[in-house]
């Protein structure tokens, strides 16, 4: 325990997931700034994180997953869903489907409009995608998007994007069928309008998962000014009043693994929340920041009323139609025998290719639910396999799954804590298919799936609809069936959304500062006002990249953000998180809850 009067850290980043790893890297690039990155999960040294197909063993595994569930959902005919969230260095980027997708230009135009800040327009965001990208095409301006300034594009950034290392006859046939149904072929989903059908690009290097920890923490591992604390759950953001009465975040309270007494750590400049779309609103609510009725109801002191915290939950609901096929191999039967498994294992061992290098979905398509839509509003994830649910065994027959989701759902849910105990999981109410529009699009998307599958290119394989079943045809039946077979595609966002200063439901302003509290920012998927039209990992990295820039810009003027150490902070109140931080700049920067290890021990 220390009783220093000076701050231990300049910045505390809460959550070492997709956004947190990038931020920790960027903020600690300045050796004069001391950064603490706190992660509830452990290190990413579990084999199945790195072998792409291992996501199957990471989801539902307490070593890597928070094991959340949604509440029973009327739109899903009363079903609850397993709601995986990464709990490990890298966060969800350590367990996700690895698909690299920026979204559509119009998503960012909408954000700019919602926030009244043109900084969020696609043209302004693009350089921040490119800043960390390491794309297999290199700094090819074709990829940067036609007509746009490609400055900042580079091969050799940290975030590796590669082509997949396998193809399937059944997926090639689906791609041809999609083209016969009017969806053009595309070789690049990332130019601002992702319309088309093609194989996804993935975050892998040589057939191995490339997560945010490898990309952003590993290169920073020898920085003595970066302290990574794993196995520590942050339970509260600490607030104090500045001389003018405005509250300021001065640090965090956290518990090390094994349920130790709470420890307090102080940040001289900013606390940045990167705990994700579920973790961040829950942490704010536990800190007394959120909707007053919710906090009062739990007997929590309302430190700062912000009614939007935890609201506006949006997610993509994937409607998984399954088709049996004949005369073509799919993973179902390929992996169904010992010999098949051995062949698959050997191929990965020797060439880092084949089904073990496989992202869950390989083929993608973006299209319109009806021709009057100005932009693609549906995304397909097509898989050469089928199962009843993730975690269940593959079916014994050959089949493929055409999963389709509405990219711009109008249904909104929320995340609410249910007790004052931060160890208790929050209530996640997704409210899928709770609007007429979402139900109609669900029905239309299932019809479109049938139309594609009915095209001549797939005829040689005699596809037979296994789920939901051809007997169901009316809008009403299809919407109900969507509720039966729909499931999350793991993209919760929006629960601390940014917005204009006069928007009472906004949680952060357009520069990601928490409204009404100094020294506190949110930089993760929770700030998205509306969900992007595609997968959400890379947009989250872009958000973090922007936050890093704004934090650096703000703190280059010390008078703006720096805590006045004469006001409100008493040294004895704050204790060092571990024995290493008694000498925080001494060079030991990687710390686990029960163990301190040297800074080169990350793999």
Ligand X SMILES: Cc1cc2nc3c(=O)[nH]c(=O)nc-3n(C[C@H](O)[C@H](O)[C@H](O)COP(=O)(O)OP(=O)(O)OC[C@H]3O[C@@H](n4cnc5c(N)ncnc54)[C@H](O)[C@@H]3O)c2cc1C
Catalytic residue positions, numbered: 491
Tell whether residue 24 is a contact of ligand X (CB under 6 A).
Answer: no
* Closest residue to ligand X: CB criterion: 17
The least CB distance from residue 300 to ligand X, in Å, is 16
The least CB distance from residue 382 to ligand X, in Å, is 14
Number of neighbouring beta carbons within 10 Å of residue 264: 17
Nearer to ligand X, 14 or 36 (CB): 14
Tell whether residue 275 is a contact of ligand X (CB under 6 A).
Answer: yes
Position among 92, 284, 321, 528 found at the interface with ligand X (CB under 6 A):
92
Position among 8, 95, 317, 321 found at the interface with ligand X (CB under 6 A):
95
* Calpha distance 603→20 (Å, rounded): 18
Tell whether residue 19 is a contact of ligand X (CB under 6 A).
Answer: yes
Position among 34, 85, 316, 414 found at the interface with ligand X (CB under 6 A):
85
Position among 52, 54, 75, 86 found at the interface with ligand X (CB under 6 A):
86
Residue 416 is inside which H or E element, if any? Answer: strand 414-416
- Residue window 477-496: x/- pattern of binding to ligand X, with contact defined by CB under 6 A: -------------xx-----
Position among 26, 33, 43, 87 found at the interface with ligand X (CB under 6 A):
87
User: Tokens for 429?
Assistant: 């109410």
Q: Which of 546, 510, 508, 419 is nearest to 132 (CA)?
A: 546
Q: Where are any strands of DSSP class E within 471-514? A: 486-488
3-state helix, strand, coil in the chain (%, to 5): 30, 25, 45
- Cα-Cα-Cα-Cα dihedral sign, residues 47, 51, 56, 58: positive
Number of neighbouring beta carbons within 10 Å of residue 142: 11
Task: Report whether 89 contacts 41 (CB < 8 A).
Answer: yes
Nearer to ligand X, 350 or 423 (CB): 423
Position among 401, 536, 555, 599 found at the interface with ligand X (CB under 6 A):
536
- Residue window 245-274: x/- pattern of binding to ligand X, with contact defined by CB under 6 A: -----------------------------x
CA dihedral 86, 541, 390, 445 (to 10 degrees): 150
Q: Taking the CA of residue 448 as centre, how many other CA atoms within 13 Å lie in the half-sphere pointing to its CB?
A: 29
The least CB distance from residue 98 to ligand X, in Å, is 5
Position among 279, 311, 364, 409 found at the interface with ligand X (CB under 6 A):
279
Tell whether residue 522 is a contact of ligand X (CB under 6 A).
Answer: no
How big is the chain, counted in residues?
A: 603
Total interface residues for ligand X by CB under 6 A: 42
Tell whether residue 427 is a contact of ligand X (CB under 6 A).
Answer: no
Nearer to ligand X, 88 or 328 (CB): 88
The angle at the Cα of 23, spanning 19 to 24, to the nearest 5 degrees, equals: 120
Q: Which of 38, 121, 15, 25 is nearest to 526 (CA)?
A: 15
Region of 78-86, 115-123, 219-227, 264-272 interacting with ligand X (CB under 6 A): 78-86
Tell whether residue 537 is a contact of ligand X (CB under 6 A).
Answer: yes
* Calpha distance 497→548 (Å, rounded): 18
- What strands lie across the sheet with 201-202, from one edge to the other? 133-135, 159-163, 201-202
The least CB distance from residue 465 to ligand X, in Å, is 26
Nearer to ligand X, 14 or 105 (CB): 14
Q: Which of 67, 59, 81 is nearest to 433 (CA)?
A: 81
Residues 26-45 close enough to bind ligand X by CB under 6 A? 38-41
My answer on whether omega of the bond before 13 falls inside 30° of 0, hence cis, is: no
Tell whether residue 521 is a contact of ligand X (CB under 6 A).
Answer: no
Give contact residues for ligand X (rule: CB under 6 A).
14-20, 38-41, 59, 84-87, 91-93, 95-99, 101, 233-234, 274-277, 279, 283, 490-491, 524-525, 535-538, 540
């Amino acid at each position: 325990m220390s009783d220093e009067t000076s701050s231990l850290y300049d910045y505390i980043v809460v959550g070492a997931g997709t956004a947190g790893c990038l931020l920790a890297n960027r903020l600690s690039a300045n050796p004069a700034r001391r950064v603490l990155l706190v992660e509830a999960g452990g290190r990413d040294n579990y084999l199945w994180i790195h072998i792409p197909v291992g996501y199957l063993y990471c989801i539902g595994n307490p070593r890597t997953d928070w094991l959340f569930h949604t509440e029973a959902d009327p739109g899903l005919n009363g079903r609850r869903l397993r709601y995986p969230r990464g709990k490990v260095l890298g966060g969800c980027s350590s367990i996700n489907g690895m698909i690299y997708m920026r979204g559509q230009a119009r998503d960012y135009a909408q954000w700019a409009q919602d926030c009244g800040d043109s900084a969020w327009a696609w043209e302004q965001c693009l350089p921040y995608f490119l800043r960390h990208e390491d794309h297999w095409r290199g700094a090819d301006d074709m990829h940067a998007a036609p007509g746009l300034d490609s400055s900042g594009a580079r091969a050799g950034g940290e975030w590796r994007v590669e082509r997949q290392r396998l193809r399937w006859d059944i997926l090639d046939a689906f791609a041809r069928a999609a083209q016969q149904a009017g969806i053009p072929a595309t070789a690049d989903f990332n130019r601002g309008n992702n319309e088309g059908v093609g194989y996804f690009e993935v975050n892998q290097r040589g057939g191995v998962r490339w997560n945010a920890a490898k990309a952003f923490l590993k290169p920073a591992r020898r920085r003595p000014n970066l302290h990574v604390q794993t196995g520590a759950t942050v339970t509260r953001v600490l607030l104090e009043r500045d001389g003018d009465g405005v509250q300021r975040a001065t640090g965090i309270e956290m518990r090390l693994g094994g349920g130790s007494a709470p420890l307090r750590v102080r940040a001289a400049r900013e606390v940045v929340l990167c705990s994700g779309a579920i973790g961040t609103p829950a942490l704010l609510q536990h800190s007394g920041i959120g909707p007053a009725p919710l906090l009062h109801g739990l007997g929590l002191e309302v430190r700062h009323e912000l009614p939007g915290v935890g609201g506006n939950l949006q997610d993509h609901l994937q409607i998984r139609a399954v088709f049996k096929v004949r005369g073509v191999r799919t993973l179902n039967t390929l992996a169904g025998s010992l010999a098949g498994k051995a062949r698959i294992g050997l191929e990965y061992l020797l060439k880092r290719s084949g089904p073990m290098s496989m992202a869950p979905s390989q083929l993608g398509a973006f299209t319109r639910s009806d021709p009057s839509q100005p932009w693609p509003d549906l995304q397909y994830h097509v898989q050469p396999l089928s199962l009843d649910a993730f975690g269940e065994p593959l079916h014994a027959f050959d089949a493929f799954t055409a999963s389709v989701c509405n990219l711009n759902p109008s249904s909104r849910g929320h995340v609410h804590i249910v007790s004052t105990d931060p160890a208790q999981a929050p209530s996640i109410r997704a409210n899928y298919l709770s609007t007429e529009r979402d139900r109609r699009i669900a029905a239309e998307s299932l019809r479109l799936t049938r139309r594609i599958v009915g095209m001549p290119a797939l005829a040689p394989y005699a596809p037979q609809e296994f789920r939901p079943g051809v007997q169901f045809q009316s809008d009403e039946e299809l919407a109900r069936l969507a509720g039966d077979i729909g499931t999350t595609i793991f993209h919760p966002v929006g629960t601390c959304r940014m917005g204009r200063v006069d928007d009472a439901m906004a949680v952060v302003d357009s520069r990601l500062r928490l409204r009404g509290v100094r020294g506190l920012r949110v930089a993760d998927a929770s700030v998205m006002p509306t969900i992007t039209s595609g997968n959400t990992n890379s947009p989250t990295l872009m958000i973090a990249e922007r936050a890093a820039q704004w934090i650096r810009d703000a703190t280059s003027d010390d008078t703006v953000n720096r805590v006045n150490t004469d006001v409100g902070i008493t040294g004895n109140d704050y204790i060092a998180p571990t024995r290493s931080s008694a000498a925080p700049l001494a060079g030991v920067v990687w710390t686990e809850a029960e163990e301190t290890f040297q800074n080169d021990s990350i793999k």
